[in-house]
Amino acid sequence: MANDSDSAPKKVGLLTAGGLAPCLSSAVGALITEYSIKYPSTEIICYRNGYKGLLLGDFITVTPGIRATASALHKHGGSPIGNSRVKLTNVKDCLKRGLVKDGEDPQQVAANQLIKDEVEVLHTIGGDDTNTAAADLAAFLEKQGYSMKVIGMPKTVDNDVYPIKQSLGAWTAAEHGARYFENVVAEHSANPRMMIVHEVMGRDCGWLTAATTQAYRARLAQRELLPALGVSKERLDVHAVYLPEIPVDLDSEAARLKKILDEHDNVNIFISEGAGVKDIVAKMEAEGKAVERDAFGHVKLDAINPGKYFADTFSNLIGAEKVLVQKSGYYARAAAANPEDIALIKRSAELAVACAVNRDSGVIGMDEDQEDVLRCIEFPRIKGHKPFDISMPWFQHLLADIGQSDKPSLASQTSFHFKA
């Protein structure tokens, strides 16, 4: 079957979309390599800048030279073919950005382009929005009598897609977030009574913050220290972890952290960028302030700045002299995939190409409902905003080890309880 060119699609398209993650470049390289080895007669085109390129008919044709050197993409971060945040059903936004003309339906424009390009299989590398949008597009085409299959690969540093055990790039993001803080933490020596807030990506899911904390503490355990001269585990450690899934009593936490600050002269906090956002947005709207949102309706977190908002609220309670808020998000998400992610990406690409040959549609992932088997998961089962399971033993142990909590419970409505 590996050399059965009759069953292979004659032409496939690739696109990456949404925010960056440390898997996009590697996944593009893995797909091109897999096709080139097993089905070299299959034509490959890559749409530039995700759905924007699809709407504009802007693509790169994969040449023999690209095929021969595609493995180089495993060494790079970002997306070699570019990303964008375009929602095909948001006609107003597509029109505003010049992607369609007045009176045109973006979904119809995209469908016409795929038909014109004779794409039989579209490989999408993105989050739940990217992949389900492609599935909707395939269904739209089916109604028009054109059969195109869509095979997605799950990209998100948040690791928050149902029912996928491990999203591509998330392991790498956690590792690089940990590396990032290894430098930032030295700022604790720049000022007495220092509070450092490390804001980690994670809109609705705290997995990345938890995993980054775990990775940082594992690396800290291997470092050579000199406690007698202030280079101690107590000063370099993480003292608090705040996630969207965990409600926090600021008064009790302030009392706990003030003791640490009094004893060690600094406090280090890891916080998910989405922690407390519901409270912050509600407060801003109550004050009559505008809350910026993207094309998908998501709150623009850079405009909200949860880390700073939390730091300003919290620092007064513990008596910190100076507060430093640092975000590792862009540093971590733009990294090249690490060996663990590359191994999963290659396995996923191999299965994706096999599914293309079989004309299957779905998202390639480790199916949590089927014992984490890597398979083509049906599109109707794919959805985002999966919360981090804070009952995981390793996370429970982490919280107990830093003295934060031994029995956290899931938040119901809000994450932080700010006083009026």
Active-site residue set:
158
Cα dihedral 308, 314, 318, 324 in deg (nearest 10): -10
364 and 376 in contact (C-beta within 8 Å)? yes
CB 195 within 8 A of CB 310: no
| Residue 264 near residue 234, CB atoms below 8 Å | yes
- Report which DSSP code applies to 288: T
Burial string for 380-394 (b: 16+ CB within 10 Å, else e) reads eebebebebebeeee
DSSP 240-262: EEE-TTS-B-HHHHHHHHHHHHH
Are 306 and 249 spatial neighbours (Cβ–Cβ below 8 Å)? no
Is the sign of the CA dihedral 356, 360, 366, 372 positive or negative?
Answer: negative
Instruction: List the Cα angle 42/120/38 in 5-degree steps.
Output: 30
Is the sign of the CA dihedral 374, 395, 156, 186 positive or negative?
Answer: negative
Could you give the 3-state DSSP secondary structure of residue 207? helix
Give the CA angle between residues 110, 116, 120 to the nearest 5°: 85
Residue 75: partners with Cβ closer than 8 Å, 6 or more residues away: 336
Cis peptide before 244 (omega within 30 of 0): no
E strand or H helix that includes residue 139: helix 128-143
**Cα–Cα distance measured from residue 392 to residue 384, given in angstroms and rounded to the nearest whole number:** 20
